[in-house]
Amino acid sequence: MTGLYYYFSTYGESILKPTIIGIITIGLSTLFWLTQSNPTLQPSFSENNPSSSNISNFTWTANFTNLDHLIKSFERSFAGFIPLLPMGSDIKVGIIDYIIKIVGGALTFGLLAIALRRKFERKYTR
């Protein structure tokens, strides 16, 4: 754990590393939701899903050029990333959303908070 803490934030001294981790998390999450036929539904990794009103089919790169789909995917990723930001009422929240919130949001914001606290302590307590 100490090694990961070093690599992710240089023991709470780096603001850049957690910021990069957050950007990568949002980017990868957006790419994941882009591969789904409808980013507001539960994701599926199967292309041949039986059509259900709660499950989104896996489409590979078919939706990468659709701007509306990109915006919905980014909104879901960003809402999943920030722990206290509410998601839209039409979004079906699942386990992947909780993973993004825990790994991306909580970890990144925690590391950023520690780094900013240390920088402010050094600057204003001298």
Specify if 117 maps to a domain.
yes
**72 falls within a domain:** yes
pLDDT at 93: 74
Alpha helices in the chain (DSSP H): 2-9, 16-34, 67-81, 95-99, 107-124
pTM beyond 0.85: the answer is no
For residues 90 and 31, the model is more confident at 31
126 part of a folded domain: no
Q: Residue 120: its pLDDT value, please?
A: 87
Query: By the 8 A CB rule, do 7 and 37 touch?
Result: no
pLDDT-derived band of residue 31, with 50, 70 and 90 as boundaries? Answer: very high
- Mean pLDDT throughout 47-66? 74
User: 27-31, 87-91, 108-112 — which is least confidently predicted?
Assistant: 87-91
Higher model confidence: residue 47 or residue 64?
Answer: 64
Residue 112: both structure tokens together: 């950023």
Residue 36 within a domain: yes
pLDDT of the residue at 27: 93
Number of domains in the chain: 1
What domain range includes position 55?
2-121
User: Which DSSP state fits 51?
Assistant: P
